[in-house]
Structure 1
Amino acid sequence: MFVRNERSIKEFMQLYPVVSWLVIIHLVLWLLTGFIQTPIGNLIEGWGKGVNFLISQGEYWRLVTPIFLHSNLMHALFNSFALVLFGPALEQMLGKPKFIVAYMGAGLAGNIGTFLFGPAIYAHVGASGAIYGLFGIYVFMVAFRKQLIDQSSSQIITTIFIIGLVMTFIRPGINMYAHVFGFIGGFAIAPLVLNNVRPYAPWLHRRYRDDRSVQFDPNRWQKKQRNKNMFKYGLWIILGILVVLGLFGRVF
């Protein structure tokens, strides 16, 4: 489910427009943060940051805007990478409307949890609550909809979830409320959005063209399997690097 086999960025954007636009929004808003100034600071400080005190004063849009804003480039890239890795399968399975509802619902749940249980002066930005909501949907599939997810993907999700849960509570600077309540929100939304869905099948919407110049290669299946194995090894290497960065660095 998490092996990306699109031939180009254009094809990826055609197949997964919601994920693509969310990544674009992350990066564009991060760029604009340095240019848009308000009387009390930049875009994040002035209008978008989730500040519990200001929310309690009636600025309820701050329950939504933090989902799209990030504190720095690494923060934006990290969350965008996670979204590109785990979002496409769900976007295809659920369809665009359900995926948007699930993503925003989980992000909102994470921010509401932060408001209700975080300190009064707590401030935060980031899409991690919504992304943990995607994990919540996957974990629901692993537990209750096993026919929708293959064994290899189940193992990946379980491993990443455990690592993410540990990092949530041992690393400083992480909004653990958003992680926990975003996950709960995704898990709670899962039975509603997973009705009448089919397992992830990336070939359903692929557009093939007839290229008469392509010659028959008797070793093509071995090459495909070798490439697939190399991608899986690369995926675990990347995950390992991210774990190291999370444990010993300060991604956020």
Structure 2
Amino acid sequence: MFDLPLAPRYLLPPAFLIVLCAVLMLPPVQALLTFNRELIDQGEFWRILTSQYVHTNWTHWLLNVVGVVFIWVLHAEYRSPKTYAVHLLLLGLWTGLGIWLFCPDIRIYTGLSGLLHGVIVWGAIKDIKVGERTGVLLFLGILGKLAWEQYAGPSDEVGQLISSRVAIESHLIGAIGGVVLALPLLWQKK
């Protein structure tokens, strides 16, 4: 059967992330943390990172919760709580900086999806490294999803659900960040 990683060291980090993102949905907090290019250009640089953890609405939050749970089921045992936190911070910063530097058309941005793409890519590479054949399928699946998004553009249906344009650029930036984060894995022995 399928064993879920229910030990507190595996369960608490994603649970904390989910609760944190819910708390950050409070309107006054959300307004202070959202990626807003104009305000960042005026010196509110924290928004580059904090925007990764706030959401446009509860549907947006819930969609990202599904992603967090999916990653927990697949790869929780690969990360200690410290590594989990470091990965979320590094990929959040990477994604936010990437949007700020390379996506000038994105004026407002929120959501975990960019950094979650990085987390899942790192996990797929770790799967491959430890000999899990499903890692190749997962990596190819993410690669195909990213290619499709770049070709077809953002989903209008999901955009309506989250009350915002889906920032597919963040998915690509996050996934690239996941590859960069996984580079040390390539030099580790099995």
Scaled by the length of structure 2, the TM-score of the pair is 0.79
**Does structure 2 retain, via aligned residues, the 8 Å contact 1:50–1:123?**
yes
Q: Distance in 1 between matches of 2:134 and 2:106?
A: 42
Q: Distance in 2 between matches of 1:152 and 1:73?
A: 32
User: Identity percentage over the alignment?
Assistant: 21
Q: Distance in 1 between matches of 2:186 and 2:18?
A: 24
Deviation at 1:121, TM superposition (A): 6.5
Query: 2:149 aligned with 1:167, yes or no?
Result: yes
- Cα displacement string for residues 148-202 of structure 1 (whole angstroms, at most 9, x for unaligned residues): 251134324422441244235522512133212111111111123677697xxxx
Q: Distance in 2 between matches of 1:159 and 1:193?
A: 20
Query: 2:112 aligned with 1:102, yes or no?
Result: no
Partner of 1:67: 52
AA aligned opposite 1:148 = V
AA aligned opposite 2:153 = I
Q: State the SS of the aligned residue for 2:55.
A: coil
Aligned match for 2:110, one of 125, 131, 138: 125
Partner of 2:132: 150
AA aligned opposite 1:16 = L
Query: 2:169 aligned with 1:183, yes or no?
Result: no
**Does structure 2 retain, via aligned residues, the 8 Å contact 1:129–1:178?**
yes
Q: Distance in 1 between matches of 2:2 and 2:58?
A: 23
**Does structure 1 retain, via aligned residues, the 8 Å contact 2:9–2:80?**
no
Deviation at 1:112, TM superposition (A): 0.5
Aligned match for 1:134, one of 113, 119, 135: 119
Q: Which runs of 5+ in 1 are unaligned?
A: 37-42, 199-252
Scaled by the length of structure 1, the TM-score of the pair is 0.61
Q: Which runs of 5+ in 2 are unaligned?
A: 157-164
Query: 2:56 aligned with 1:56, yes or no?
Result: no
Closer, same or farther: CA 59–179 of 1 in aligned 2, 3 Å? same
**Does structure 2 retain, via aligned residues, the 8 Å contact 1:49–1:62?**
yes
Q: Whose radius of gyration is greater, 1 or 2?
A: 1
**Does structure 2 retain, via aligned residues, the 8 Å contact 1:106–1:183?**
no
**Does structure 2 retain, via aligned residues, the 8 Å contact 1:63–1:112?**
yes
**Does structure 1 retain, via aligned residues, the 8 Å contact 2:117–2:178?**
yes
Q: Distance in 2 between matches of 1:24 and 1:197?
A: 36
Partner of 2:11: 16
Aligned match for 2:30, one of 44, 51, 63: 44
Partner of 2:159: none
Deviation at 1:120, TM superposition (A): 6.2
Report how many aligned residue pairs link the two structures.
180
Closer, same or farther: CA 193–52 of 1 in aligned 2, 3 Å? farther
**Does structure 2 retain, via aligned residues, the 8 Å contact 1:53–1:121?**
no
CA RMSD of aligned residues (A): 2.8
Bigger drift between 152-161 and 70-79 goes to 152-161
AA aligned opposite 2:140 = T
